[in-house]
Amino acid sequence: MARQDAEHARAHAKGGRARRLRRAELLLIGAGVAATLIGAAYQYAGIRSTLESSTASSLYAQQQEIDRIFVDNVDLQPYFWHRQELPDASAIRDPAAKLGAQQLAARAEATAHRILDHFAHLKYQMGTQAFTSERSDWEAYMRRSFADSLILCRALRGDQEAFGGTGADSLWGRYAEEPCRGS
């Protein structure tokens, strides 16, 4: 019986040591998991910051391309910045002036579609949450652009389906509907 008690005591001691070792293993695993999660959170923050910076750089580059259009084509500025109406080519009798008005309208329409593409890209980036800083500034810029340009409003109205339709989350619904009323 004494032998059995001694064996039982040894088995109990081994079991206690095994439990302590298992507890220590679990603590080490838990600490490793916590360190991994903390590291992943820092890495995620770094990746997100890099992504946002890259996205902002891309958007600013596109904006500079659009600004360059207006530097190279000063005659387009009133139609995008001052809500000025394009000349009605059909009312012009002089063939050279009529051709000039048609060419101006074609350049203005092409510029409007370039701007709409840029706005669609901005909206997409904001929707993916990849670009969150300065969001309100970009949104105000888009609304103001529609408010300042009859040609931009008409270009979007004429091609709404290409830019998400007319729903509340579309380019039209979010940024153009109100400023383009009556144009």
Residue 95 lies in domain? 51-177
Asked if 80 and 146 sit in the same domain, the reply is yes
Asked if 73 and 154 sit in the same domain, the reply is yes
| Rounded Cα gap, residues 94 and 102, in angstroms | 12
Asked if 40 and 105 sit in the same domain, the reply is no
pLDDT bucket at 34, cuts 50 / 70 / 90:
confident
Asked if 107 and 149 sit in the same domain, the reply is yes
Percent of the chain with pLDDT over 90: 56
pLDDT of residue 131: 64
Q: Is residue 125 part of a domain?
A: yes
- Burial of 151 by CB count in 10 Å (0-12 exposed, 13-18 middle, 19+ buried)? buried
Q: Is residue 183 part of a domain?
A: no
pLDDT: which is higher, 39 or 73: 73
pLDDT bucket at 8, cuts 50 / 70 / 90:
low
* pLDDT at residue 67 tops 70: yes
Rounded (10°) angle between helices 150-158 and 95-127? 70
Structure tokens belonging to residue 72: 């190279």
- Burial of 167 by CB count in 10 Å (0-12 exposed, 13-18 middle, 19+ buried)? exposed
Q: Within 13 Å and on the Cβ side, how many CA atoms surround 10?
A: 6
Asked if 30 and 55 sit in the same domain, the reply is no
Close Cβ partners of 168 (under 8 Å, ≥ 6 residues apart): 174
The values of phi and psi at residue 83, to 5°, are 55, 30
pLDDT of residue 154: 96
Query: Minimal CA–CA distance to 171: which of 134, 131, 126, 129?
Result: 126
pLDDT: which is higher, 44 or 136: 136
| Structural domain total, the chain | 2
Residue appearing with tokens 């490793």: 32
- Burial of 122 by CB count in 10 Å (0-12 exposed, 13-18 middle, 19+ buried)? buried
* pLDDT at residue 11 tops 70: no
| Rounded Cα gap, residues 68 and 115, in angstroms | 12
Asked if 101 and 37 sit in the same domain, the reply is no
Close Cβ partners of 151 (under 8 Å, ≥ 6 residues apart): 79, 80, 86, 108, 109, 112
| Rounded Cα gap, residues 177 and 160, in angstroms | 11
| Entry pTM | 0.74
